[in-house]
């Protein structure tokens, strides 16, 4: 799995990230997995055409010392579909910028 990973979080940083993700993404669904809603302006043509599969998400996994965003765009409406797959270059930049902006807002230096 391709991911963007931030590691070596301090215990206090973990708690701040958890609170932030709870507020922005809603509570973790299972095993500290959060769903980051992808901005619709970044949908590929096939994602835009698949209205039954929308919205699209990227998973953020929060562990004790790491936070990682998967570079896989998926839907919660289906297990498999042509509209799901690895993020485009534009989506990757957006995902990385979102995670970096979260750390900057929380004043977490890595």
pTM of the predicted structure, to 2 decimals: 0.92
In this structure, the number of other CB atoms found within 10 A of the CB of residue 68 comes to 17
For residue 42, is it within any domain?
yes
54: containing domain: 3-105
20, part of any domain? yes
The distance in angstroms from the start CA to the end CA of the chain is 22
In a domain, 26, yes or no: yes
Query: Residue 17: how many CB atoms within 10 A of its CB?
Result: 22
How many structural domains comprise the chain? Answer: 1
The alpha carbon of residue 17 and the mean position of all alpha carbons in its chain are separated, in whole angstroms, by 13
Residue from 31, 6, 29 nearest 108 by CA: 6
- Give a yes or no: residue 69 inside a domain: yes
Each of the 110 residues of the chain gets a pLDDT tens digit; together they read 899 999 999 999 999 999 999 999 999 988 899 999 999 999 999 999 999 999 999 999 999 999 999 999 999 998 899 999 999 999 999 999 999 999 999 999 88
> For residue 110, is it within any domain?
no
């Amino acid at each position: 799995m391709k991911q963007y990973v931030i590691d070596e979080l301090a215990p206090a940083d973990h708690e701040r990230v958890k609170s932030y993700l709870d507020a922005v993404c809603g509570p973790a669904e299972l095993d500290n997995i959060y769903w980051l809603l992808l901005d619709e302006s970044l949908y590929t043509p096939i994602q835009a055409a698949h209205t039954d599969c929308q919205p699209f998400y990227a998973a953020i996994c929060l562990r004790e010392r790491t936070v990682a965003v998967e570079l896989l765009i998926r839907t919660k409406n289906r297990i498999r579909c042509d509209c799901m797959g690895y993020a485009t270059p534009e989506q990757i930049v957006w995902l990385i910028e979102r995670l970096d902006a979260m750390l900057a807002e929380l004043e977490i230096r890595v």
